[in-house]
Each structure stands twice: as C-alpha cells, then as structure tokens.
Amino acid sequence: MIAGELVVLFVGVSFLVGLLQAYIPEERIRRTLAGRGEGASTVLGGFFGALTPFCSCSTIPILVGLLNAGIPFAACMAFLLASPLLNPVILSLLAALIGPVPTAMYAIITFCAALVLATLLGRLGFARYVKEVTVEGMASAPACGCEGGTFAERHGPRFSAALHFAVSLFRQVFPYLVLGAAIGAFIYGFVPADLIISVAGPDNPLAIPAAALIGIPMYIRAETIIPISAVLLQKGMGAGAVMALIIGGAGASIPEITLLSAIFERRLVAAFVVTVLGIAVLAGFAFGVMLPA
C-alpha cells in the first residue's frame, strides 16, 4: 500500500517539477543569482536548490556551472545543501508518510540551517578551497522556440519535456521506493517495538547524533529511507533520530562526497560533511523538543 501511494505521488510531483524546470532553465538561475548581494543570493541559491530533485550526479555539474559563472560562494553552498534535502519530491513523500506539520517543520529548520551554515562557510573563507574545474560535454538546454504560435505550439514541448523528465526520474527511483517499502514492511512485521525504543527511542540522548553519523556513510537515497523512517516512527523511534537519519543519509552520501572531491579540496569536503552532520543533529534535537513522544 505504501509503495502504491508513493508511486502515484512521485510521478505527479515529478511532472510538476519538470514543468517548473522547463520554464526556469539553469541559465536563468545563473542570471538571477548573479549581481546580487551575498544575503539575497544565498537565499535564492537555497530556494533554487530546493526546486531541483536531482541526484548528486546532476547537482554537482550545475554547482560547477554556478561557481564558474562567478556566483557568490555562499549561494553555491546553499544550493548544494538544499538540493538533496528540500526538493518537492522529498517533501511530498514526507508529507504523505509523516504528515504536513512535521514536514513543514522539517523544511523550515533545514532551509534556515542551510542558509546560515552556507553563509558561515563563506565568511570563514572556504571559497579558497574550490578547485579550478570545468565540466566537459555540458550543453545548455535547447531553445524550444515557444515564443510564438498557438498555445499548443508554445507550451506543448515543455509539457512533453516535463513528462519525459517524470518518467525518466521514476524509472531511476522506482526500485529504491519499492526497496524502502519492503524494508519498512519487514521492520513493521518482525522487529519488536521494544527493541527500537530501547536503542533509538526519545529517552536515549545519544540516539540523534548516532543516527546522523550512521546516515552519512549510508549509500541510500532519501526515497528509500523515508518509507523506512515512517515505520520506525510507528515502532517508537524518536522523531529527532528519524530526522537525523534522513538528513545524514540524503545530504552526504558517499557518491556525492566522491564527486565533490573532484572540485573541492579536502578541507572544504570535510567542512561540507561536518555541515551536513550539524544540520542533521540540529534538526534532530529541534524535532525532539517540538514533537515529544
């Protein structure tokens, strides 16, 4: 049942996000961010990051393009931090499984933390640890020629592109959705609630940092961990520990860190991992206070 609900929701939201990307191409994002003050560009960088349901393989090339275009470093880091944690697909899955109020709390806390920490990294001078990198083979999105003609001629190509985007993304993510639902079903049926409460319940003060540390090295997509997390909540795992696990796993996966090592020096890669860990722990404790068991 969980898998079926998530599939329908995922395709619908992905199509809407595809439409958004068709009307707001990457070049427009760069133009919008360029020439603005640090504060405004950082907020916009986080906002645009939250609109991009990309895996790290897509986020990193866009990040390189932003850096090479002279976009302020803090704005680029806000984009990098927000992209895997706040995109509409992730938020819609969270809302379906844990409810709109906790999801809104998650979005606000994570977005604000991403902006603050991205600004802090910029103020501390971490921009000097960015390598000189260009991405070969990246082509700009082709012009659709949608300015004239009928409504279908103007907008049809964009709707077609959005549908193709949704289907393509669904094919990539579907196995992870099913895997997450299957693992969640196993936990629901066979793992005793008392065991989960004793290890990661709200009364364990180390559950939140431990969950964040466990999540970071896990190579697992957010689409997989979210169905599992919904079951863990039902079984008695603390809300703070669940949020820390989701943020740690989605925000700093091993493939993403590997790709970042190609464009960041070691100090900046380490700072990025510590930043994600900080967001995970901060959000975890905030959830523990605002959503007590």
pLDDT digits (tens, 9 = 90+) for 25-70: 666 666 777 767 778 889 988 888 887 655 555 677 678 777 877 8
SS (H, E, C) 247-284: HHHHHCCHHHHHHHCCCECHHHHHHHHHHHHHHHHHHH
* Model confidence band, residue 143 (pLDDT cutoffs 50, 70, 90): very low
Model pTM above 0.75: no
| Confidence check: pLDDT of 193 > 50 | yes
Cα–Cα distance between 71 and 38 in angstroms, integer?
9
Cα–Cα distance between 81 and 73 in angstroms, integer?
12
| Confidence check: pLDDT of 121 > 90 | yes
Residue 243 is predicted with a pLDDT of 84
Cα radius of gyration (the chain): 19
* Model confidence band, residue 192 (pLDDT cutoffs 50, 70, 90): low
What does the pLDDT average to over 263-291?
A: 86
Sign of CA dihedral 198, 215, 117, 51: negative
Backbone φ, ψ for residue 145 (5° rounding): 60, 45
Identify the residue whose tokens are 């944690």: 85
Of the candidates 279, 277, 278, 272, the one whose C-alpha atom is nearest the C-alpha of residue 129 is 272
